[in-house]
Structure 1
């Protein structure tokens, strides 16, 4: 930036670079930055070794989940041990991956023939389904006899990547299930709903059996057509790149993870393409809005639809799009809008819980 703004003429041998004392200072700054960056990478590699025997805590889980959401693709590409592997969780514990041990563990936990899979959103982890003391998984287990199984995964990876991995994990989970699975219900919050849609797309071509057992997909506040914050971030990148003076700053914005970038348009496939709702099961959508409900007989105002739950607009959560070919065909009776509710409030909404019980009953 200095070289592009500086009034001094560029050196013909090194165009676009600073010269003299300024160049010496900047080279020193870059050397220090590289040293600090390398030190941070080394510390990130050493941190899990130091904490390997330490018990997990909500604070530690939340920090690592946020780190994976923002830089998860970089953590995996650099083989950093802080990258979160995809794993099943029950009762706050990680389930074993070895099939025989997994089946024995599930049998010991008294699993029923009805399975509920819960998939969290961006920068979150499975423990955050219990929000302010309420857990939709526990509520559906008590009301309808489901056995809740929670997924923990790296939300910084591309949604299509996580969807393909989840399809394989579901196949292995149901193969190890100690009973014949009578019913499989998929529940996703925010990005989790997109990952589930991607998994439902990846399963049939591989002839995976879990797809046939799936009866319902429920998406809570999922940005099917994108989230404004990521669209604004992309727009800022484009704006900064328009002038030579601010173009270097645009590179900073590119450091956010592939998972975050996929939320710009709700991308669930690679290469990006429109994905209709899966067939052969019931699909439900829940949207939230921070404002109160409109008057009876009147539709929500434009400002309310754009505001949504603070992160996801109403239209995006309900699959509505101005282009008919892009719309998701959620049936009206399988859609719910809750008012005076934020994005995270969907995790403990009694209204949402009761509606899901009615849908699944």
Structure 2
């Protein structure tokens, strides 16, 4: 029998009416950016031929060439504004004609990656694709001023925070790949220990301290309106999420918010407490490209990466770590020290792609993104050394960075750490 043809893909199911305006804005910015880089390379070549002595500007091209570049900028801006205005007027009509499509895993994954790479620019330009910060329960955003009924909610709140270029959906166990089992940390902690999971979704392209401040305020509102008295708050955080919870706790304590008194445990999964080599390498690329007049305009490509990414160079968690500094200039680590929060049980899980510990593998490989020393909070400067207790450290082998989200070994370790100790029985009882 002939095989039935596969159902045609439906790409429109991922789209929203506001996407037309958002993509137009991105296209306008991209065109202007490419034009600026082209003008810079053109002028560098022109200057190298001695043309600068004939009145050419080193900053901008002049004459007919300059007129052409100015015309491209002007037309691009004019067309972009016109299209955005037209699409803005169309949005209410499209929203009335078309039902809001359901949230899809594919769309949210693309948006999460886009926000991670350039989320600060999306937010600055009020692009509809910028991800607002929300706390989510069972797939829905929680409105602290109009909390929905939450049947089954307990006083043990489990907060899960994703990392760079990711979203809350990626905490769920995915289909098995190559027969390798996967686990759902939140489901296990809920079933075994009675936690109620809530997930943070946020724009990971913003500075970590900006997200920390936002989380501190949002968490205060949500927990104040929690349907039952909150007994404890436990956070399980992956990668950049660990920097954000440290930042949020600091600013919440600084502002005398209540929820830090309810915070009992933080478990860090692959958090780059002292930075990631990939961002340090990216900063070196900026430096190298800027060394010659011909490649200097191309350095703008590297400078498209977000504030969230550049914060990962050294593991920034405070406003003072980045304010007043050019984040693309290579400078020594000058961040302020921030110890782990007092009175909170802090644990860390690190991963390595190697099959066993070795100094070379720990430093160069780690989990592919975060070296073991950074994940363990170890630093040669005592001010930055986070000093996790030995019993609060765990290493998983043959595990890449992303696999920490769904590793059965990590789930088992979470259960071991978070299960309350049973009181010792009296003799003779």
Same fold, judged at TM 0.5 (above): yes
Secondary structure of 1:10's aligned partner: helix
**Contact residue 48 and residue 81 of structure 1 kept, 8 A:** no
Q: Aligned runs of 1:15-164 on 2, under 5 Å?
A: 15-16=57-58, 17-18=60-61, 22-23=65-66, 26-27=69-70, 30=73, 34=77, 53-98=100-145, 101-102=146-147, 104-106=148-150, 109-132=151-174, 134-164=183-213
Counterpart in the other structure of 1:297: none
Counterpart in the other structure of 1:10: 52
Q: Residues of 2 paired with 1:47 and 1:259: CA distance? A: 33
Counterpart in the other structure of 2:226: 177
**Contact residue 206 and residue 308 of structure 2 kept, 8 A:** yes
Which of 257, 260, 263 is matched with 1:214 structurally? 263
Evaluate the alpha carbon distance shift between residue 27 and residue 94 of structure 1 in structure 2; reply closer, same or farther with a 3 A threshold: same
After TM superposition, the score normalised by the length of structure 2 is: 0.76
**Contact residue 158 and residue 258 of structure 1 kept, 8 A:** yes
Structure 1 runs of 4+ with >4 Å offset: 17-52
Q: Residues of 1 paired with 2:63 and 2:406: CA distance? A: 61
Q: Residues of 2 paired with 1:325 and 1:151: CA distance? A: 30
Secondary structure of 1:325's aligned partner: coil
Q: Aligned runs of 1:292-331 on 2, under 5 Å?
A: 292-294=355-357, 300-331=358-389
How many corresponding residue pairs? 351
Q: Can you list the C-alpha shifts for 1:64-123, whole angstroms capped at 9, x where unaligned?
A: 11111112111111122221111111111222232xx31x523xx211111100011111
Q: Residues of 2 paired with 1:209 and 1:20: CA distance? A: 63
Evaluate the alpha carbon distance shift between residue 345 and residue 37 of structure 1 in structure 2; reply closer, same or farther with a 3 A threshold: farther
Secondary structure of 1:166's aligned partner: helix
Secondary structure of 1:261's aligned partner: helix
Structure 1 residue 356 and structure 2 residue 414: aligned?
yes
Q: Residues of 1 paired with 2:64 and 2:368: CA distance? A: 49
1:211 shift after superposition? 0.6
Any unmatched runs of 5+ in structure 1?
Answer: 295-299
Which of 216, 219, 224 is matched with 2:273 structurally? 224
Q: Residues of 2 paired with 1:293 and 1:25: CA distance? A: 60
Q: Residues of 1 paired with 2:85 and 2:351: CA distance? A: 42
Q: Can you list the C-alpha shifts for 1:11-55, whole angstroms capped at 9, x where unaligned?
A: 544322545665565556555665676689779979987577111
Q: Residues of 1 paired with 2:90 and 2:373: CA distance? A: 42
Moved more, 179-188 or 15-24: 15-24
Counterpart in the other structure of 1:168: 217
Q: Residues of 2 paired with 1:75 and 1:3: CA distance? A: 30
Evaluate the alpha carbon distance shift between residue 94 and residue 230 of structure 1 in structure 2; reply closer, same or farther with a 3 A threshold: same
Backbone CA RMSD of aligned residues: 2.4
Q: Residues of 1 paired with 2:345 and 2:104: CA distance? A: 37
Moved more, 27-36 or 306-315: 27-36
Q: Residues of 2 paired with 1:10 and 1:105: CA distance? A: 70
1:246 shift after superposition? 1.7
Evaluate the alpha carbon distance shift between residue 356 and residue 45 of structure 1 in structure 2; reply closer, same or farther with a 3 A threshold: farther
Structure 1 residue 276 and structure 2 residue 334: aligned?
no
Which of 359, 370, 390 is matched with 1:332 structurally? 390
Q: Residues of 2 paired with 1:46 and 1:187: CA distance? A: 43
Evaluate the alpha carbon distance shift between residue 35 and residue 122 of structure 1 in structure 2; reply closer, same or farther with a 3 A threshold: farther
Moved more, 7-16 or 168-177: 7-16
After TM superposition, the score normalised by the length of structure 1 is: 0.90
Secondary structure of 1:151's aligned partner: strand
Q: Residues of 1 paired with 2:309 and 2:85: CA distance? A: 25
**Contact residue 44 and residue 80 of structure 1 kept, 8 A:** no
Counterpart in the other structure of 2:235: 186
Any unmatched runs of 5+ in structure 2?
Answer: 1-40, 176-182, 322-335, 420-429
Of structures 1 and 2, the larger Rg is shown by: 2
**Contact residue 122 and residue 130 of structure 2 kept, 8 A:** yes
